[in-house]
Amino acid sequence: MKIPGYGVLLFSLLHASSQVALADTDVIELTEENFSDKMAEGDWLVEIYAPWCSHCQQLEPTWRRLATELKGKVLVGKINGDQQPSLMQRFAIQGYPHICHMREGQMRDYAGDRSLEDLRHFAEKGWRQTRPQPFYRAPNSPAGLVLGKLLTLPHKGVQLHQYLRNVKKIPDLVLLLGFLAIPVTMGMCCICLLDAWYSRRPSAWVTPAPQHAHAH
């Protein structure tokens, strides 16, 4: 029997069709790498989803049509919560799908019906009636963008370690000593700078010693 072969073929066809469907859409996929730059392009309506979420799957046709109807007015994007863990840490969401409006460093959550008409109304002008999240909770605010950069440091550190170990063939012990030397060197530099600054301060900063009157 060659049923496994037919199963592989069927899976390949479904995968190829899904890739074509993803390419043939006005929805923009947002990732940790392009999020900061994309947010500067204008107003956004963003869906945070998970591929396994049935509600997200039901919303998908509406979301695609919404992106086409809002083209040139409001940018429509989506974030795969399973594939973007660092980016997800910047969103305080309770479940999937999560829809929000982003504009000029402010984020407003959507809690209405997921019909095409209601979503389009919220994207165009309904967002004005919703109170924005505090600036420190908005991923597109200056504070959120800085936090996003900090959250990527551990991942970049892991990538650097793997590159140095696997490509450059540097032993782990040498890498450990090198990484430990960085904060030690920075601390010594700070101590030297402070010592040089205090030792060369103007004499006017020094409180003169009291002078005693001499008896004649």
Positions marked catalytic: 53, 56
Residues 6+ apart with CB under 8 A from 24: none
**Longest Cα pair distance anywhere in the chain, in angstroms?**
125
3-state helix, strand, coil in the chain (%, to 5): 55, 10, 35
| CA–CA dist 72, 9 (Å, integer) | 39
The amino acid sitting at 70 is: L
Virtual torsion, Cα 10, 15, 19, 22, nearest 10 deg: 100
Q: How far apart are CA 104 and CA 39, in angstroms?
A: 8
Under 8 Å between Cβ of 157 and 91: no
Could you give the angle at the alpha carbon of 196 between the alpha carbons of 194 and 201, nearest 5°? 95
Rounded CA separation 122/101 (Å)? 8
Residue 94 near residue 81, CB atoms below 8 Å: no
